[in-house]
Amino acid sequence: MVVGDFAEEVDTLIIGSGPGGYVAAIRAAQLGQKVTVVEKGSTGGVCLNVGCIPSKALIEAGHRYHNAKGSDDMGITAENVSLDFSKVQEWKSGIVNKLTGGVEGLLKGNKVNLVKGEAYFSDSDQVKVSSEDGYGSQTYKFKNCIIATGSRPIEIPNFKFSDRIINSTGAINLNEVPDKLVVIGGGYIGIELAGAYANLGSEVTVLEGEKRILGGFEKQMAQLVQRNLKKKGVTFETQAFAKSAEETKDGVKVTAEVKGEEKTFDADYVLVAVGRRPNSDELGLEQIGVELDEKGLIKVDKQCRTSSSNIYAIGDVIAGPPLAHKASYEGKIAAEAISGEASEIDYLGIPMVVFAEPELASVGYTEAEAKEAGYDAVASKFPFQANGRALSLNETDGFLKLVTRKEDGLVIGAQIAGQNASDMIAEAGLAIEAGMTAEDLAMTIHAHPTLGEITMETAEVALGTPIHIK
């Protein structure tokens, strides 16, 4: 228990230690600021503990298990392939612990003070931090503050989270592989986890309210994912609205309206993955004049500064997709702005990735978005099936589309559906950031045989000089 609450003074206080908060803290410390980070949960936030990292580990485990059962195309068969899901979870937890420990080490190495507790604004230049055990508190007086409190899963009516009705956190921490899993929501979280559990042996049904899944990506890209998941037994119900759930000790019955018709679905578990809500509601922002929009997102300018000039906000609590790398990018911008640098947000080069089957990735403009923005844009495509490495991997589904400006070939966007799209998109992002043209990409010598050659080949299509397709 704290005896006597005398305010501790810091240059920059950061609330939240996720991929936005801890990156902001390190960058601020590099720039000479005295930094304190307040974290009420586990170091590393949602991403490291119950989001990006553990979900990708589960996805990889699903791939390994599915592939271990053999590949008829390659003449490979296997017998008695077994799955010890408790060991999968143990392996996944080991990765999480290694990374969260690494973050704490990085903060310590940069002389950042990490405080465990819950922060609440008591004034525009100070917060009161309640200790983890609920006894006592400490006040911190700051020159500047960065809010990086992230988001939480949305709970929908009649689907209160429980042992059987779970959110993404529950889904990656199950003690068993469900025989039957219903996923409500066909966005990136729902589709990634649907794919993971389908590979692990679950019978999966996806209920999506819109006309198609993965609405943030081009239709052809989403169709590739849906087709592949169907091959693994996943059932899709679009224009489907979950109405109620009847829960028993060993299962759930979901009632949904599908294209105007009532249907029921039996499952061991129901995963609700319909989006995330910003954690901006328990900080006391209303009493210090920080403005929010109708969704609870904190309003910021191009330097992540809120309506209160010494308070900044980054990551899931501000507008834009809830992406870890977006939060990290914004964290650097905010830290640099506090230090007087002219850094500003430019989202054009931020990629969107779904770790589905195949992987999807997009950066910059799509063809339609470019034309809406007033560009005379050209879209050029190259298929994975014409690439030697894709053939040798037996992963030929997909394509790369390069969006260029017609007048000079400037690269302004790219979309990739295919194996390792999450890694390949970085080259296109660099091209956009560096102001490169299709000719620059085409003239860059790519190693053979690699998937990276697809970028070069697509650039050659844009120039009208394709080698490996007609």
Its pTM stands at 0.95
Instruction: Kindly tell me if the per-residue pLDDT of 265 is higher than 50.
Output: yes
Question: Which tens digits make up the pLDDT trace of 382-400?
Answer: 999 999 999 999 999 999 9
Confidence of residue 2 (pLDDT cuts 50, 70, 90): very low
At 131 the pLDDT is 83
Question: Which tens digits make up the pLDDT trace of 422-442?
Answer: 999 999 999 999 999 999 999
Enumerate residues 6+ apart whose C-beta is below 8 A from 128: 5, 119, 120, 122, 137, 138, 139
State the catalytic residue, choosing from 66, 446, 448, 468.
Answer: 448
Span of 64-73, 97-106, 356-365 with lowest mean pLDDT: 64-73
Question: Which tens digits make up the pLDDT trace of 123-159?
Answer: 999 999 998 776 789 999 999 999 999 999 999 999 9
At 4 the pLDDT is 53
Instruction: Kindly tell me if the per-residue pLDDT of 3 is higher than 60.
Output: no
Question: Which tens digits make up the pLDDT trace of 137-147?
Answer: 999 999 999 99
Instruction: Kindly tell me if the per-residue pLDDT of 264 is higher than 70.
Output: yes
At 134 the pLDDT is 66
* In the chain, % of residues over pLDDT 70: 98
Active site (annotated) includes residue 448: yes
Mean pLDDT of 95-121: 97
Mean pLDDT of 50-55: 95
Confidence of residue 462 (pLDDT cuts 50, 70, 90): very high
Question: Which tens digits make up the pLDDT trace of 214-258?
Answer: 999 999 999 999 999 999 999 999 999 999 999 988 899 999 999
At 248 the pLDDT is 86
Mean pLDDT of 316-336: 97
Instruction: Kindly tell me if the per-residue pLDDT of 99 is higher than 70.
Output: yes
Average pLDDT, the chain: 96
CA distance 125 to 142: 5
Instruction: Kindly tell me if the per-residue pLDDT of 72 is higher than 80.
Output: yes
Instruction: Kindly tell me if the per-residue pLDDT of 1 is higher than 70.
Output: no
Set out the domains of the chain in order of their start, with CATH numbers: 8-153+277-347 (3.50.50.60), 165-274 (3.50.50.60), 358-463 (3.30.390.30)
With beta carbons less than 8 A apart as the criterion, state whether 139 and 128 touch: yes
Question: Which tens digits make up the pLDDT trace of 334-379?
Answer: 999 999 999 999 999 999 999 999 999 999 999 999 999 999 999 9
Mean pLDDT of 199-221: 97
